[in-house]
Structure formats: structure tokens, C-alpha cells
Structure 1
Amino acid sequence: MTSSATHQIESAQLRRSPRYGVFLALGVVVGILAALILTFAFGDGEGTSAATGVRYTTTQVFGFLCLFCIPIGMALSAGVALIFDRVLSRRARDVRVSHDRIHVEPEGTDAV
């Protein structure tokens, strides 16, 4: 067996970044809670639209509000995540990294 080793020292940038999936999931939860609050805070109990005279159930009103509140919540939470990313990128620092690479070639390899 023959082996060869190389040793390199490189520089890398170390910084923290937010997990965007967590922020988007939190935005969905906030959007659902906002839709739930709006459903019961401004509902008149009858479920009748004053403009069209059509009756909507509480579940339908909640669904309609979710269509608007969830994307708005996700957009706001994504904006917060981008702001955190911008602030945390200012605290980035350069570090030196030792990089070893060992390549081993086995002896007596048979070509089939």
C-alpha cells in the first residue's frame, strides 16, 4: 500500500445564519392565530355578509381569513429572518482551518 498525505491551511468565514424553515413555520402559526382571532373578534354571530346577504359559517370565514393571514405571516417572518441574517453577517469572523488529505492506493489491485 502506498499513501500520500497533503497538509493545507486555508481560511474560512465563520458566521451564524437563521434557519428559514423555522421562521416560515412560525409565520404560518402566527397567521393561523391571527385568522382565528379575526374570525371571532369581528364576527357578528349570524355569519351573514352585509354586502351580499349570503350566509357564511364560522369555519368558512376562518378559511377565507387563513387564505390571507398565512401568506402575510410567512412574508413577515421571512423578512425578520432576512434582517437577522443581515445583522449576524456583520459578526462574521475569519478563521484558519487545517485541512489534511490522505490518499491510499491499495497494492495488488486486479483489473477484471
Structure 2
Amino acid sequence: MATPPRNNSQKVTLRRSPRLSAFVVVSAVLGFFITLFLTGLYPSDPSVGFATLFAYFALYGITGTVGLGIVLWLIIDVRSRTRARQVLVERARAEDPS
């Protein structure tokens, strides 16, 4: 006796979510260049040196822009949840051709 086909369809939520890694990397690179630019605007102390001064300010600049990038990612992620749609998905079984 053949088994009756069962209903292989279900509702799923479909949404486009932003990638966190892209936001973190782009904001870190942006923070690096902003810190480099702002540090280069002012003369550095000869006893400290430019590289040391830049490294010190880069700790704050990169961390701050990564934090802002994550906040921006969260805002976009929440907006993508409001635009989510419900779709009906059906499973199909593929037969082995051999």
C-alpha cells in the first residue's frame, strides 16, 4: 500500500539582513583613516613622535567608529525585520537518476 503524500509546505520568514562583518571592517578602516588625518593636522610632540601619538589616538578612533558602525548595523537590522515577508515554501524530493 502506498503512503499518501504528506504536505511538505511550511511558512518561513524571508528578509534581507545586513552583514555585521562588513560594517565592522568598513568602520574600522574608516576610523583608521580619520584618526590618521586628524593626527596629521596638528604638530606632534618631538619627545613622543608621530607614530606613538597616532597609535594612542587610533585606540580611541578605531574603537569609536566600530561602535558607531555596530549601532548603524543594529538600526538597519531592525528596519529589515519590519520589511520581512512570510512566504510559503514547498519541499520537493529529487529522485536518483541511476
Q: Give the TM-score range, shorter chain.
A: 0.7 to 0.9
Shift of 1:26: 0.8
Native 8 Å contact 1:6 1:101 kept in 2: no
Shift of 1:44: 2.2
Corresponding residue number in structure 2 for 1:29 = 29
1:100 counterpart SS class: coil
1:69 counterpart SS class: helix
Aligned partners of 2:85 and 2:24: how far apart in 1? 27
1:97 counterpart SS class: strand
Aligned partners of 1:30 and 1:102: how far apart in 2? 48
1:2-13 mapped onto 2 (5 Å cutoff): 7-13=7-13
Shift of 1:40: 1.0
Shift of 1:100: 3.3
1:57-68 mapped onto 2 (5 Å cutoff): 57-68=49-60
Native 8 Å contact 1:32 1:69 kept in 2: yes
**TM-score, normalising length from structure 1?**
0.73
**Structure 1 18/85 Cα, relative in aligned 2: closer, same or farther at 3 Å?**
same
Q: Percent identity?
A: 27
- Pick the structure with greater CA Rg: 1
More helix by share: 2
Native 8 Å contact 1:9 1:97 kept in 2: yes
Corresponding residue number in structure 2 for 1:51 = none
Runs of 4+ residues deviating >2 angstroms: 100-104
Give the count of matched residue pairs. 93
Q: Structure 1: give runs of 5+ residues left out of the alignment.
A: 49-54, 105-112
Question: How large is the Cα RMSD of the aligned pairs?
Answer: 2.2
